[in-house]
């Protein structure tokens, strides 16, 4: 069996063997170590430390990186992109790279962590007061602030231009970057956030973690969860017993497990949603900005007549400079990332393909997704919105040889897919209840992007973390109290 714990002196995270885990019964077993799984583990151990409850974690991938890629001092944008693409697995028919590794996509994510707008949250089955409480907690443990870009002339001048030209609500982007100074000998060695930070904090309490352990099925008996079936890269099977299982295996991975398990649910795998992503690239002249030139990351949030969010970031590959000297050049590139609201539609879905079985004996996914007429109307507004925002910012967009100055990416490439295990109160239109529990199954929960019921326009990671923390508290209160 492949096991990264074979050489204890060479690994940077304590690991358990799958054989040892198979001899135990866990109070909670978390599947996946990305944003949702990492937040779940952190909160469970923060609440349960010293209680004697057994917590286990299973990760499909291995030990890829010990930190967010931008925390590596020798990193460049080109190298980071290359590492991401080398490590990524692309689902069929939906170009959204998946990372199977400790930390998941938080090893490479762009760190923007805005809240969803109140209007986008209004129809959710979670009280706004609770969402605000858990947003605050998520922001605290992810070190989210708007301080990283403040003080740079590039940020300040572009922001003032926007606010004076029709975008008074434009803001310094909230970013998950820890800019706090060292205090009492505690060094912030991983300022760019990934869930590795939570795994490190979780080591203050006992838990078991096995890697290269792909969960293929969640096993239930008489409507109750009893454990999971696991497959290893060398073809071995194991059964891990658990009273509660939390799937945090991604918007594709979690419903794939549920469908393969025969879990009944009219909405499981349905309502696949993302953001429509419009891109534009512009040029700023260095002479327009005094020192310190600095980084740029601004967010234009949605409003009633603007069903989209726009991020403006740059300059070029020097947003997160560490050791490289920024060259003196007259022009610099700035990127515009537009995220449009997309309808949650039942026909957009993932399914198992029984005619195409992978190496673990699991049917591969068939993904069906298309934009609706309403989505297309938002895309048209967003295309013009990016052009208008660039003009207001005093940044000239540049048309590429084979693309116009603003263009739509293929679905999925913004990495914001959600909805395939969406929460709600009606089992016909939702896979989980408002606390992330699969309808009709005791002890089976979901805590990743897939539970988000509607797209809104904001990057989903902060929302996923907030909901995972809320689900963890629910499990502690209602499933683990003796």
395 falls within a domain: yes
Q: Which whole number is the average pLDDT over 137-160?
A: 96
pLDDT over 60 (residue 64): yes
Answer yes or no: is pLDDT of 449 > 70: yes
> With contact defined as beta carbons under 8 Å apart, do 138 and 39 qualify?
yes
> In this structure, what are the phi and psi dihedrals at residue 433, rounded to the nearest 5 degrees?
-80, 180
Residue 5 has pLDDT above 50, yes or no: no
User: 445 lies in a domain?
Assistant: yes
pLDDT tens profile 169-179:
999 999 999 99
Contact residues for 321 (Cβ-Cβ < 8 A; gap 6+): 295
In whole angstroms, how large is the CA radius of gyration of the chain?
Answer: 22
Query: Do 170 and 162 form a contact (C-beta atoms < 8 A)?
Result: yes
**CA dist list (Å): 300 to 89, 249, 366, 438:** 31, 31, 35, 35
In the structure, what pLDDT confidence band is assigned to residue 85 with cuts at 50, 70 and 90? very high
Closest CA to 138 of 477, 476, 466, 467: 466
Express as a percent the part of the chain with pLDDT over 70.
98
Provide the percentage of residues in the chain whose pLDDT is more than 90: 88
Asked if the structure places residue 4 within a domain, the reply is no
Domain assignment of residue 37, yes or no: yes
Average pLDDT over residues 252-262: 98
Task: Note the pLDDT of residue 402.
Answer: 86
CA separation for the pair 111, 178 (Å, rounded) = 11
How many alpha carbons fall within 13 Å on the CB side of residue 320?
A: 24
In a domain, 10, yes or no: no
> For residue 289, what pLDDT is reported?
93
pLDDT of residue 7: 44
pLDDT over 80 at 2, yes or no: no
Report the pLDDT value the prediction gives residue 10, as an integer from 0 to 100: 59
Position 77 in a domain: yes
Phi and psi angles of residue 109, each rounded to the nearest 5 degrees, phi first: -65, 165
9 in a domain, yes or no? Answer: no
Residue 3 has pLDDT above 60, yes or no: no
Looking at residues 407-419, what average pLDDT do you find? 95
- Whether the pLDDT of residue 6 is over 70: the answer is no
| CA distance linking residue 116 with residue 307, whole number of Å | 12
- Residue 362 pLDDT > 50: yes
Alpha carbon of residue 87 to chain centroid: 16
Is residue 2 in some structural domain? Answer: no
pLDDT tops 70 at residue 138: yes
Q: What does pLDDT average to over the chain?
A: 94
Per residue in 277-297, pLDDT tens? 999 999 999 999 998 889 999
Reply yes or no on whether the pLDDT at 49 is more than 50. Answer: yes
Between 292 and 411, whose confidence is greater?
Answer: 411
Q: What CATH number is associated with residue 200?
A: 3.50.50.60
The residues pairing with 31 across neighbouring beta strands, listed in sequence order, are 58, 247
Q: Higher model confidence: residue 93 or residue 387?
A: 387
Round to whole Å and give the CA distance between 17 and 1.
Answer: 9
**Band (401; pLDDT cuts 50, 70, 90):** confident
Bigger pLDDT: 342 vs 329? 342
Inform me whether the pLDDT recorded for 8 exceeds 50: no
Supply the range of the domain harboring residue 340.
15-479
pLDDT-derived band at 1, boundaries 50, 70, 90 = very low
User: In terms of pTM, does the model score above 0.85?
Assistant: yes
Query: Would you say residue 91 has pLDDT above 60?
Result: yes
Please say whether the beta carbons of 437 and 6 come within 8 A: no
- Residue range 139-155: mean pLDDT, rounded: 96
Over residues 226-244, the pLDDT tens digits come to 999 999 999 999 999 999 9
Neighbours of 190 (CB within 10 A): 17
- How many domains does one find in the chain? 1
Query: pLDDT band at residue 476, thresholds of 50, 70 and 90?
Result: very high
């Amino acid at each position: 069996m492949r096991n990264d714990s074979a050489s204890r002196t060479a690994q940077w995270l304590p690991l358990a063997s799958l054989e040892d885990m198979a001899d135990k019964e866990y109070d909670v077993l978390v599947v996946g170590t990305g944003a949702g799984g990492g937040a779940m583990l952190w909160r469970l151990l923060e609440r349960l430390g010293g209680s004697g409850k057994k917590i286990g974690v299973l990760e499909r991938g291995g030990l890829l990186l010990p930190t967010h890629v931008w925390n590596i001092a020798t990193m460049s944008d080109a190298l980071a992109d290359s590492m991401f693409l080398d490590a990524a697995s692309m689902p069929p028919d939906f170009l959204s790279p998946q990372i199977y590794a400790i930390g998941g996509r938080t090893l490479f994510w762009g760190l923007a962590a805005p809240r969803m707008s109140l209007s986008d949250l209004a129809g959710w089955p979670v009280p706004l007061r609770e969402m605000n409480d858990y947003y605050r907690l998520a922001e605290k443990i992810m070190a989210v602030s708007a301080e990283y870009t403040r003080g740079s002339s590039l940020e300040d001048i572009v922001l003032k231009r926007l606010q004076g030209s029709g975008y008074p609500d434009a803001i310094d982007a909230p970013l998950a970057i820890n800019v706090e100074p060292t205090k009492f000998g505690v060094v912030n060695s991983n300022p760019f956030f990934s869930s590795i930070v939570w795994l490190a904090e979780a080591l203050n309490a006992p838990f078991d973690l096995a890697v290269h352990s792909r969960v293929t099925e969640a096993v239930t008996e008489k409507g109750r969860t009893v454990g999971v079936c696991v497959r290893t890269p060398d073809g071995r099977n194991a059964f891990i017993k658990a009273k509660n299982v939390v799937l945090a295996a991604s918007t594709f991975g979690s419903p794939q497990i549920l469908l393969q398990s025969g879990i009944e649910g009219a909405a499981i795998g349905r309502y696949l949603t993302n953001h429509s992503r419009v891109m534009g690239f512009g040029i700023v002249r260095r002479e327009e900005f005094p020192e310190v030139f600095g980084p740029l990351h601004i967010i234009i949030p949605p409003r009633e007549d603007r069903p989209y969010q726009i991020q403006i970031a740059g300059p070029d590959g020097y947003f997160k400079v560490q050791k490289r000297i920024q060259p003196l050049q007259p022009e610099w590139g700035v990127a515009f990332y537009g995220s449009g609201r997309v309808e949650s539609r039942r026909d957009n879905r993932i399914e198992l393909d029984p005619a195409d079985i992978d190496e673990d004996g699991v049917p591969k996914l068939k993904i069906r997704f298309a934009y609706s007429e309403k989505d297309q109307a938002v895309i048209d507004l967003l295309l013009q919105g990016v052009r208008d925002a660039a003009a207001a910012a005093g940044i000239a967009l540049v048309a590429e040889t084979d693309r116009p100055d603003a263009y739509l990416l293929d679905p999925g490439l913004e990495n914001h897919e959600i909805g395939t295990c969406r929460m709600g109160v009606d089992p016909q239109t939702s896979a989980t209840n408002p606390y992330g529990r699969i309808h009709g199954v005791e002890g089976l929960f979901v805590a990743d992007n897939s539970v988000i019921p509607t797209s809104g326009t904001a990057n989903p990671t902060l929302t996923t973390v907030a909901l995972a923390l809320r689900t963890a508290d629910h499990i502690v209160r209602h499933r683990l109290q003796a």
